[in-house]
Structure 1
């Protein structure tokens, strides 16, 4: 089982939602990088549940314990081992689900692969809970990148049919900080209010709603990445699809490019100082041939609606022969997981970008 990714920067994620703890092992971090733990905790708090009626009631402190690899707030160059305790589990909520796979969860596929030995309480190793150590690891990577004037930010670009304003083509990194400081991660607060009403309406109906997240990386020089299977798009997509609930990724204008002509889709090059080369548009998301152009890297991620809903759902019950049945899922679940996934997408992007830079000997 490969719960790890990266080449020069290798990240392994371990644990289950209702086990004793979860965590990550990071190998390949450069030595001597200062880590601001207060900033790291602020970043991780953006992912936490239990902060308002828009998310799950399950709230964990999520204070990472650094077992190794950091001494006096600096990376040592040796593997960084992170452990986060699980302190607020209610496994009894899942007793009636042991023999009934939840629709659109990984219960069924996990049972097909591992049988009854797999621990699926709270979603087990497939749970969104496992994004906490990804945030811890990615928060470190974000700080290292920011020290080199490479910044990563994201916002909730849609919930259901309600959309936020898009990022400007070349935003200042201060916009990323402004969004990160908001309780609801949007550019337009007016759009955010409508999104919140959409989430609350889904919750009131014992249902859930999906969303999309727009993420941008600014400050990357041109020429970073590789063609084909190790291109920036390929590297990012592999890690992004490892995040629970992610069902789609597009770069730049993505699928909308299929509806354009080349004269519309192409990004014209220009220089205004005879030195730096830019493009007048960024429909290709700052990547050509898997390699950065020097424009912001921009992509969007689709987050499906939370599968755990309060409505009756058809499923099967295991036995000597499977039989049809109906379940109603109890427990503490998000009516929209997309809002809490925003920092997770940033974290994943930071880890991939740092790994790619290390592979290209840029650090």
Structure 2
């Protein structure tokens, strides 16, 4: 699997990871697109999700470029790609935790004003800290060719840096570990609070609580709160496993299956968010289906009108149509 000090990335791994990058790119773009076109659905949590999607979008693009190129030297494009992916990946961790903190303050602490006031703080941390870390890493020549030791073709912390483990922690791993601990705790507390509130509602307002629609919305929210930390950990754990195996100097980190899972996991966050917050969110899903159906009907109507020129337009009088037809046919015949 390894030649010298370099992990070989097979073509099949490239194809799979590039496909994962494409899905994440489309998923992140769809989240941003729905926020722009549906003005009445622009809530603060969804705005925070858009900022997370911007990070995931950048990650997908930079990772795709790295996987496509599979760098072998500390070239300029390698350093640029490594810097962008480091910034975007670290920012994604911060925004993921920021959304959980916002929901905790809003739901458990029951303070929308305090939750909304945290948005500026989220921006300073989620953009500022990754930017500062990435700038320091690039300035000290820590970003570059890493021989795919803990990557899948893209560049990250230079393989020859004597303090590379420290910089791997600073440019991603330490924030990843903190997210592993923070997200489950926050979402468990949110779920517990919602369950208590729902139980109280069921006791004092049984008619409302027993409505199927009420149960449906509650079940979907409960499922999302369960899936968010589980999916995050499931996607990111493969990168963490390879990092631990690197620290242990284990050749198992070069296993093709583990490398492929690492590539898919690191590039699928945008896809996962799109599935949960677009396709599994009824208002967004309904709007998209309506818009898609309208486009299909308009296209079909236009094609049918093109195929059948004798068809009357809505509101057109038959006599007028015959008159137009009688005046236009001589011109055509000529």
TM-score range, shorter chain: 0.3 to 0.5
- The structure with the largest helix share of the pair is 2
**TM value normalised by structure 2:** 0.33
- The structure with the largest strand share of the pair is 1
**TM value normalised by structure 1:** 0.31
Report which of the two structures shows the higher radius of gyration computed on alpha carbons: 2
